[in-house]
Amino acid sequence: MGKPISEKHAIEVASFIVVFEHPFEANIIAALPGLHAKLKGDYPVFNPTNTMEVRVEGADVSQNAVLSGGLFQSLLPDRRPSWTLRVQDNTIVVSCTDYKRWGDVSTKALNHIKAAITFVNSETNAVSNVIYQIVYRFVADSQDKYNINQVFQVQSPYLTAQVVNAGRLWHVYQGWFEDKEKFNGKLLNVLNLSTAENPVGITTTIDHAAHLRFSSPKAIGEFDDIFIRNAFDELHKCNKSIIRNLLTSDQLKAIGLV
């Protein structure tokens, strides 16, 4: 049977994303070391990030590295990141690869997002959408023993009829909208389901990104603690509903969703 990559869940990474209407101004990017000083206990490592700017003038081509953001990291002993915070262009992204429980992870992630938001000019920028993206992985014991029903309900509405007969390797990519009137917007679900070969066996991946798109950009003043908590709780609820309609009962038990 395909096994979740963790003993208590199958989550490889969970990301909390806030997208702004406009790219961050240069003075905001320049102030990111101040944000690092505030969050250094959670993110000991900070690196500025650059975008390569190419300029063509006649026959002359020049390249210039332009400061465009910052990457904050908390590293495991093997140097893999357990938590990252990226402020880049017009987005704030907090990602966790050391997932335990939704309550603890979401509280920490949203606190870091709110800290980063304080560095954005509320007079000139607004939030256009928020995204919760989560990647689940399951690994079969061997390539020879793979069967799609080790992980999925074969009658799931999110699978096509073809994948049942496709063998070990297949890929389904889809998206759909839902109205979210209480948030004055629409929810775009982007669901990417696939299998891949690896030395151990067949890896099954569920990559779900829930995009809450506001009909009108929200001023930072509207983006308070209650609103941001309610928004991401709604996206988390949506994700759980999809997973419950994808996985077998045995897999749902294995990851604690029943």
Q: How far apart are CA 210 and CA 217, in angstroms?
A: 17
pLDDT value of residue 57: 67
| pLDDT value of residue 32 | 93
What is the per-residue pLDDT for 127? 96
- Number of C-beta neighbours around residue 23 at 10 A: 15
Q: Which residues pair with 205 in a beta bridge?
A: 137, 194
Encoded tokens for 136: 């689940």
Helix, strand, or coil (residue 225): helix
Say which amino acid occupies 155: Q
Query: What's the pLDDT at 24?
Result: 92
At residue 60, the pLDDT reads: 63
d(CA 54, CA 143): 46
Reduce the DSSP state of residue 179 to 3 states and report it: strand
Q: What is the pLDDT of residue 62?
A: 60
Res 182: pLDDT? 94
Q: Which of 80, 74, 81, 68 is nearest to 112 (CA)?
A: 74
**Residue among 85, 104, 107 nearest 32 (CA):** 85
So what's the pLDDT on residue 238? Answer: 97
Is 94 exposed, middle or buried, given 0-12, 13-18 or 19+ CB atoms closer than 10 A?
A: buried
Stretches in the chain below the pLDDT threshold 70 = 1, 52-65, 143
DSSP 23: P
> Comparing C-alpha atoms, which of 90, 102, 103, 49 is closest to residue 73?
49
Contact assessment for residue 96 and residue 109, using Cβ atoms and an 8 Å cutoff:
yes
Structure tokens at 189: 């679900």
